[in-house]
Chains A and B, each alone.
Chain A
Amino acid sequence: MKKITRILRWILILAVACLMLVLPWIAQNRYQVHIVNNIGIWLLLSLGLNIAMGYAGQYNLALGALWGVGAYTAALLQTRLGVPFWINLPLSIIAAVIIAAFVGLPSFKVRSHYLALVTIALGEAMNLVLVNETPITGGADGIGHIQMPNLFGFPINNDERYYYIILIMVILGYVVGRQIVGHRIGRAFRALRDDFQAARAMGVNTGFYQILAFAISGAYAGAAGALYAQLNTYISPDIFTFNSALIVLTMILVGGMGSLPGSVVGTVLLLVLNEYLQVFQRWQLVGYGIAIIVVVLFLPGGVVELARKFESFRQRWLAGLTKGKSDAEAG
């Protein structure tokens, strides 16, 4: 039984992998590939926020602005200095990590909802800098004419090619994320989220891990920013706001707080729904609202909780079956 489940699992993983590899070819048009690329970028944001918030309990709602830090760093390096993609990407990550670490400093003084408020304010302040520092950031007009990457002579000049870069980054982000949350760092995060005082007494350097949580979400946001800037070739401050952080928050709430698969499910679900709900125009937001209420009320663990519930049901069912069998044999 177990063996079959394992084989099924590998088949599933292989199928998904194949699908992901050929996706640009089976897409009906370029717009669909663009949507998928967009999903990949939001996926990085939601993985980052889920690690900081779902695992470590650090409400980093300056995420939208940190995304902007990544995007502007990449855009400026690329347009002003001609720094190529494979250098401006890590530099964008580093820039966002540094700013995120500073955003995390208030976590020494305030927690949970208060921390959320402080980080919202910090994020909006950073957005104002993007809007008002016109000589550097281009102000409300933003930065245009960003070049798409050219990797060692191979131009990544359309959505289909860019897709593979995003795919690699998302897989990398997911694997690194799993490594973070699945071991010592993740346990320290959960310890300080579960019980701050007990965590300290168990030797967890809470201050360090709080800043680390912010820095990690910053790293993901920085990568997402650099990818976003060079995908769209144009950026402006209006997307790097609290509003975007709120969308990411909705994604992880719907998908599953404190679960990386939850991030994936929530992001894909929300963005795909978003496409189908476009026809309803303004009513789309009502749909969002209802979705959140339903999830919070009936599935506080997010959509992934459904899978968990199904699994425990299945195991009970299996246990019941074998028990019935042994009972019958005994009888």
Chain B
Amino acid sequence: MFLEIDHLTMQFGGLIAVNDVSINIEKGEIHGLIGPNGSGKTTIFNVLSGYYKPSGGKIIFEGRQISGLSAHQITAAGFARTFQNMRLFKSMTVMENLLVAMGYRAKVGLWQEIFNPVAVHREEQRFTEKALELLDLLEVAEFANELAISLPYGHQRRVEIARAMATDPKVILLDEPAAGLNEIETEELRKILTNIHERGITILLVEHDIKLVMEACEIITVLDYGKKIAEGTAVAIRKDPVVIEAYLGKEGNQ
């Protein structure tokens, strides 16, 4: 198993945000995570990226337990993420945002970083080239030297995805990448997802835009009140009475 979320529970005081959830994710799949507000999707992301230590259960990635590691170690293990409320570094250009994400893979040591300008220059060039390639992939290369937060919203979303890609991940966690995008931009996002997918990167997608999820994801997991209520292909999920009930309420209640 590539990525295994095993009986994960996350409790904050009296609130159980995630309750005994198990999800298996295959290498290279686009896996959707949907559910009404407050169903625990973002909490799962935050546990996956190391912000929270789970109250119960564990996360196994490529045979190694990663739950309990700190966030930067999990990034080094091959996880990258974007944020619901975009969190680009506000003092930095688009390029610098990406270079930060590449920093942990630097081969130039700390002392060299200060006292060996030649080695530093060579590495900066190598990183800059790679970053440009990613910016090209996301079609924002022309803004490389602009302040990231000065770009239009849709472009910022792309920069954020490019930044996540810059960590050279095996799994990318996208937290509502379509939020705030118009229809055309969402369609472009879908193409971007396909592009990332074709590079062999596993995608875990939290998204409220059901249409996008249904179109893009191979497997969808549905959460409600912190519990997993359904899992399957888009077609199966669409017909599942439990899912319909969670989203629309019971017929008798109306």
Interface residues of A (CB under 8 A from B): 176, 179-180, 183-185, 187-188, 190-191, 193-195, 197-207, 212, 258
Closest to B89 in A: A194
Whether the Cβ atoms of A183 and B124 lie closer than 8 Å is yes
B74-90, CB under 8 A of A: which get 1 and which 0? 01100011010001111
- Which residues of A have CB within 8 Å of B72? 200, 203-206
Asked whether B167 is an interface residue with its Cβ less than 8 Å from the other chain, the reply is yes
- Which residues of A have CB within 8 Å of B75? 200-203
How many interface contacts (CB-CB < 8 Å) are there between A and B? 94
Q: How far is the CA of A229 from the CA of B116 in the complex (A)?
A: 31
Asked whether B91 is an interface residue with its Cβ less than 8 Å from the other chain, the reply is yes
Whether the Cβ atoms of B92 and A183 lie closer than 8 Å is no
Whether the Cβ atoms of A190 and B103 lie closer than 8 Å is no
Q: How far is the CA of A245 from the CA of B103 in the complex (A)?
A: 32
Question: Closest CB-CB distance, B146 to chain A, in whole Å?
Answer: 14
Whether the Cβ atoms of B91 and A203 lie closer than 8 Å is no
Pick from A188, A205, A258: contact of B100, CB below 8 A. Answer: A188
Whether the Cβ atoms of A198 and B87 lie closer than 8 Å is yes
Pick from B87, B88, B120: contact of A183, CB below 8 A. Answer: B120
Q: How far is the CA of A107 from the CA of B96 in the complex (A)?
A: 25
Asked whether B247 is an interface residue with its Cβ less than 8 Å from the other chain, the reply is no
> Main secondary structure on chain A at its contact with chain B?
helix
Stretch at the interface among B6-14, B54-62, B107-115: B107-115
Question: Closest CB-CB distance, A174 to chain B, in whole Å?
Answer: 13
Closest to A200 in B: B71
Whether the Cβ atoms of A195 and B89 lie closer than 8 Å is yes
Asked whether B50 is an interface residue with its Cβ less than 8 Å from the other chain, the reply is yes
Of B96, B103, B166, the most chain A CB neighbours within 10 A belong to B103
Of B80, B101, B108, B123, the most chain A CB neighbours within 10 A belong to B101
Question: Closest CB-CB distance, A284 to chain B, in whole Å?
Answer: 34
Question: Closest CB-CB distance, B114 to chain A, in whole Å?
Answer: 5
Question: Closest CB-CB distance, A124 to chain B, in whole Å?
Answer: 31
Question: Closest CB-CB distance, A147 to chain B, in whole Å?
Answer: 30
Of A187, A206, A207, A212, the most chain B CB neighbours within 10 A belong to A187
- 15 sample A-B contacts, Cβ–Cβ < 8 Å, listed by A number: A176-B114, A179-B120, A184-B103, A187-B96, A188-B100, A195-B90, A197-B71, A198-B88, A198-B89, A199-B100, A201-B83, A202-B80, A202-B101, A203-B101, A205-B72
Whether the Cβ atoms of B104 and A201 lie closer than 8 Å is no
Q: How far is the CA of A179 from the CA of B119 in the complex (A)?
A: 12
Query: A185-B110, A190-B89, A195-B90 are known contacts. Are A200 and B70 too (CB-CB below 8 A)?
Result: yes
Closest to A177 in B: B114
- Which residues of B have CB within 8 Å of A184? 99, 103, 106, 108, 113, 120, 123
Closest to B160 in A: A198
Asked whether B49 is an interface residue with its Cβ less than 8 Å from the other chain, the reply is yes
